[in-house]
Structure 1
Amino acid sequence: METFESGRYHTDKPVHDPPILTVHICRSPGQLCPAFPLDGRIHLTCGMMFLFLLFKCHIGYPSMSFAYPALKKLFCEIKGGLANTPEDRDRVQQDLNTMEKWANENKMQFNKDKCKVLHLGQKNEKHAYWMGDTLLAFPIVFGAFCMPLAFLRGIPRKLLQVQPSINLRSRAFMDLKVLVSLLNDFASLSLAESWDNVGLLVEPSPPHVVSTLFLTNDLTEEVMEEALQERAGLILSYHPPIFKPLKRITWQTWKERLVIRALENRVGVYSPHTAYDAAPHGVNTWLAKALGACTTIPLHPSAAPNYPTKGCYRIEFSSCSAEAVLSRLREMPGVSLLTTVPARVDGAEQVQVSLNCTQSALLQVMALLSQSSPVYEKTEIISLQKPLLRDTGMGRLCTLGEAVAVSVLTERVKSHLGVPHVRLALGAGKTLESEVKVVALCAGSGTSILQGTEADLYLTGEMSHHDVLDAVARGITVILCEHSNSERGFLLELQQLLAVHLENKVQVIVSKRDRDPLRVV
């Protein structure tokens, strides 16, 4: 049995040929279709590939990528000879001479000194050759033997010049499902607002492995092009590129084109958005670092998502003969944890009933109990609240260790965000030298989170004109940084956090083209 697991290859068979070989069929160079995992031994798909090459079928060009178990060093440059057996070195030199002759005959450039070789197994014939990033030649495995490389001279030139689908220097990879599960563990999607659209938004057909995780604040077409150039397997876009439902997938709108390009190039798209806003190690915690030393608490704390109690309300009542009522309650949707215990009430033997119910079931339960006045009059309704999570929730209320002037705090914010300008509205009766001790902040658009909060200063990305006027009238100073400027800098910190969380099993990179669309001119 053979399995893939987050960068490791497991097999209970004797291992003779260490590398795992993945063969891709592409409709045109650079466009990959689903991959077939092979292991260098007998496999029908290899034979099919061999036949495709022989008959020059129209289905596409072959492209190869390699995942490496840590069994031995497999990849080396031919500079001063290959450090294997003398037979290996002779075989490699023969192959290089064959390729050099074939290249000269076809008027192609070939430099033996720049050629690289990958040893594919115990047999001397099993080598694949690269020059730079170009796959020059590879053995076709069929049954128990490999075709000599000299045979490849008859294969059309376009089939031998293929860009490898994965950077050979990167050996780490992870299955998409495993990676998404780990991302969900990093910041639970249950923390996101109910209106948000978070999680895996675009999924290539399985199996899909990821060697590069690409981070961006906004997934624009320019950023998508960058992600494809970086050969990303998954794009983590802080803002969800799919928010409103799409009724069609055409080439007419830019968001539809993003979906098309992602699927055509087998790139997944994942968005955490407000889950990262609420997380204790998320965007708002990062933004609070702009203030200097301070203590912070969430403005709107998050409740535990998996609290064991079901339902929003607990109902308790007692009755002398509860069987008829209990049978109807058990059949009622939204009713759970129904328990009964004998009880003595007012000197009479009765049954004490306790149940949990949802908001929608509450009215039905009370309508049933109201049919018996003695029961209804003794019924108690208890509202159930889930426990709040520590340091988790929307926005932050920050108390500075030492009060600072508005002008000083403004410079700190600009330095932390890496922006030359912010917008500032001084509270009524305040100046640039007025002291600030308490700051309420929210990354992005913070009006709904900050509204009504008592503080010396509001820090957010954007607020409406009238909301700013309301804050100023209350004596609250407002700093606006533009929406994405209050979020984007978190990606560099996120890069480091995810590298540790994912145990460096995938490469994590940050977009260089992602930027706020607004400029001060």
Structure 2
Amino acid sequence: MGKTVTNSDVFKLIEAWAPKNLAYDWDNVGLQIGSHNQPVRKIMVTLDVIESVVDEAIENKVDLIIAHHPLLFKPLNQLNLDTWKGRIIHKLIANNITVYAAHTNLDIADGGVNDMLCEVLGINNKEILKTEGEKFLYKLAVYVPETHLNQVVDALSKEGAGHLGNYSHCTFQTKGTGTFMPLADAEPFIGKQNELEKVKEVKVETIVKESILPNVIDSVIAAHPYEEVAYDVYPLKMDGEKLGIGRIGTINEEMSLDSFVDHVKNSLGLSHVKVSGNLSKRINRVAVLGGSGEKYIYHALRQKADVLITGDMTFHFAQEAIELGLAVIDAGHYIEQIMKTGTQKYLQDKLTNVDIIISETNTDPFQYR
């Protein structure tokens, strides 16, 4: 982006990746504190927004904090500056720092937290652990003068339109003649006021996912030479990409649960994990859910998982899993910090003139002795 970047620009990028409507009803995602219109020069990505993180942001002159866990889950009945949350909010407002949260929507999103964990753990042939919905597909048709065809097609592809499997720039193009008459107040790219104009144009048709449709249309309008851009959007009655929480797949080489525990610890940089199950059990098919996964043990079993890796597993659910024959690795909720590097990379690829840093504050509330 060559123009001044605002919070709203950043929010649109995140929501193209992890749309807010993917979040669970109990969640509170999106803008937490701050402004949509504030210019952004520096962003910090964090797992949690605690006071030490805010102090770090102030010291680094950060304009926007992107967090995974929302600072505000429930409505505030009062804003008492003597409480820990009140102090945080006061510091944020006093230093003009905006906070935005992408939580369960980023867990569910393609390429989100659970996919990041799978990548680090070497889990392949991934499927969704529990399907929650699907991305609807649309056909976008835009009418372009022949002189600007490649420019507009590139703009479509850059935003993710026309991506089918391992192919990009997928379009169907039909040549024709466009007609228009610029009226008195028009400032036409081609033609003269009050004279009928005929132009050689191309109708470009492509497939667009629902989540990126607004960004695609904005990019097409920006790349198109006309003052008024003609385009059509059609909903498609065909299966879109499935969406859901958690992932399940296979590892390259079968190993014992004991060896797999070492693999998990080494891959995620952990000093310890909690394990339930027979340590000699052979592991090949692995389910992953970065947050609290105890309610998903039956989903893991239905998909023939040998082990479930999760961030939280309580005593009785672990007992139940053992009785059902499912091994469990509770690696701690803090494994979701993997979202920091993934989110930084995603944004930095698209915001070349914004500095994006990762919070160095350890927000894990537990110490292990």
Q: State the TM-score bracket (shorter-chain normalisation).
A: 0.5 to 0.7
Q: Distance in 2 between matches of 1:400 and 1:452?
A: 19
Task: Map Cα deviations across residues 231-262 of structure 1 (whole Å, 9 max, x no partner).
Answer: 11110111001001111112132222222221
Once the two structures are TM-superposed, the CA of residue 295 in structure 1 deviates from its matched residue by 1.2
Q: Distance in 1 between matches of 2:110 and 2:135?
A: 15
Structure number, greater radius of gyration: 1
Q: Which residue of 2 aligns with 1:233?
A: 63
TM-score, normalised with respect to structure 2:
0.68
Q: 1:192 to 1:457 in 2, by over 3 A?
A: same
Task: Map Cα deviations across residues 93-121 of structure 1 (whole Å, 9 max, x no partner).
Answer: xxxxxxxxxxxxxxxxxxxxxxxxxxxxx
Task: Map Cα deviations across residues 284-316 of structure 1 (whole Å, 9 max, x no partner).
Answer: 0111124325211111224236579xxxxxxxx
Q: Which residue of 1 aligns with 2:347?
A: 498
Q: Distance in 2 between matches of 1:394 and 1:479?
A: 18
Q: 1:452 to 1:394 in 2, by over 3 A?
A: closer
Q: Distance in 2 between matches of 1:307 and 1:253?
A: 46
Once the two structures are TM-superposed, the CA of residue 507 in structure 1 deviates from its matched residue by 0.9
For structure 2, the 5+ residue unaligned runs are 139-236
Paired amino acid for 2:108 = A
Q: 1:207 to 1:488 in 2, by over 3 A?
A: closer
Q: Which residue of 1 aligns with 2:362?
A: 514
The number of residues matched between the two structures is: 268
Asked whether 1:405 is paired with 2:235, we answer no
Match runs of 1:387-402 below 5 Å: 387=239, 389-390=241-242, 392-402=243-253
Q: Which residue of 2 aligns with 1:448?
A: 295
Q: Distance in 2 between matches of 1:196 and 1:440?
A: 23
Match runs of 1:393-472 below 5 Å: 393-426=244-277, 430=278, 432-454=279-301, 455-472=305-322
Q: Answer whether contact 1:202 1:269 (CA < 8 A) is retained.
A: yes
Once the two structures are TM-superposed, the CA of residue 267 in structure 1 deviates from its matched residue by 0.7
Q: 1:489 aligns with which of 338, 349, 352?
A: 338
Match runs of 1:20-169 below 5 Å: none
Asked whether 1:195 is paired with 2:45, we answer no
- Give 3-state SS (helix, strand or coil) of 2:284's partner: strand
- Give 3-state SS (helix, strand or coil) of 2:361's partner: coil
Once the two structures are TM-superposed, the CA of residue 387 in structure 1 deviates from its matched residue by 4.5
Q: Which residue of 2 aligns with 1:243?
A: 73
Q: Distance in 1 between matches of 2:52 and 2:105?
A: 25
Paired amino acid for 2:31 = L
Q: Distance in 1 between matches of 2:89 and 2:325?
A: 46
Task: Map Cα deviations across residues 101-151 of structure 1 (whole Å, 9 max, x no partner).
Answer: xxxxxxxxxxxxxxxxxxxxxxxxxxxxxxxxxxxxxxxxxxxxxxxxxxx
Q: Which residue of 2 aligns with 1:478?
A: 328
Once the two structures are TM-superposed, the CA of residue 398 in structure 1 deviates from its matched residue by 1.5
Q: Which residue of 1 aligns with 2:14?
A: 183
Q: Which residue of 1 aligns with 2:155?
A: none
Once the two structures are TM-superposed, the CA of residue 490 in structure 1 deviates from its matched residue by 2.8
Asked whether 1:219 is paired with 2:49, we answer yes
Q: Distance in 2 between matches of 1:516 and 1:386?
A: 43
Q: 1:479 to 1:436 in 2, by over 3 A?
A: same
Q: 1:305 to 1:291 in 2, by over 3 A?
A: closer
Once the two structures are TM-superposed, the CA of residue 269 in structure 1 deviates from its matched residue by 0.4
Q: Distance in 2 between matches of 1:451 and 1:219?
A: 33
Match runs of 1:205-216 below 5 Å: 207-216=37-46
- Give 3-state SS (helix, strand or coil) of 2:255's partner: strand
- Give 3-state SS (helix, strand or coil) of 1:218's partner: coil
Task: Map Cα deviations across residues 448-480 of structure 1 (whole Å, 9 max, x no partner).
Answer: 233443121110011111000000111211111
Asked whether 1:289 is paired with 2:140, we answer no
Q: Distance in 1 between matches of 2:364 and 2:281?
A: 30
Q: Distance in 2 between matches of 1:397 and 1:444?
A: 15
Higher relative contact order (CA 8 A, sep 6+): 2
Q: 1:290 to 1:474 in 2, by over 3 A?
A: farther
Q: 1:306 to 1:291 in 2, by over 3 A?
A: closer
Once the two structures are TM-superposed, the CA of residue 230 in structure 1 deviates from its matched residue by 0.9
Q: 1:274 aligns with which of 104, 112, 135?
A: 104
Q: 1:293 to 1:272 in 2, by over 3 A?
A: closer
Q: 1:405 to 1:197 in 2, by over 3 A?
A: same
Q: Distance in 2 between matches of 1:224 and 1:417?
A: 25
- Give 3-state SS (helix, strand or coil) of 2:45's partner: strand
Task: Map Cα deviations across residues 389-436 of structure 1 (whole Å, 9 max, x no partner).
Answer: 24x32011122343222122112211221111111112xxx2x33210
Q: Distance in 1 between matches of 2:136 and 2:82?
A: 42
Q: Which residue of 1 aligns with 2:204?
A: none
Q: 1:450 to 1:501 in 2, by over 3 A?
A: farther
Q: Distance in 2 between matches of 1:280 and 1:437?
A: 23
Percent of pairs identical after alignment?
A: 30
Match runs of 1:226-375 below 5 Å: 226-304=56-134
Paired amino acid for 1:498 = L
Paired amino acid for 2:126 = T
Q: Answer whether contact 1:298 1:396 (CA < 8 A) is retained.
A: yes
Q: Which stretches of structure 1, 4 residues or longer, exceed 4 Å deviation after superposition?
A: 305-308, 385-388
- Give 3-state SS (helix, strand or coil) of 1:263's partner: helix
Q: Distance in 1 between matches of 2:132 and 2:350?
A: 23
Q: Answer whether contact 2:250 2:284 (CA < 8 A) is retained.
A: yes
Task: Map Cα deviations across residues 57-106 of structure 1 (whole Å, 9 max, x no partner).
Answer: xxxxxxxxxxxxxxxxxxxxxxxxxxxxxxxxxxxxxxxxxxxxxxxxxx
Paired amino acid for 1:517 = P
Q: Which residue of 1 aligns with 2:161?
A: none
Q: Answer whether contact 2:297 2:321 (CA < 8 A) is retained.
A: no
Q: CA RMSD in A?
A: 2.1
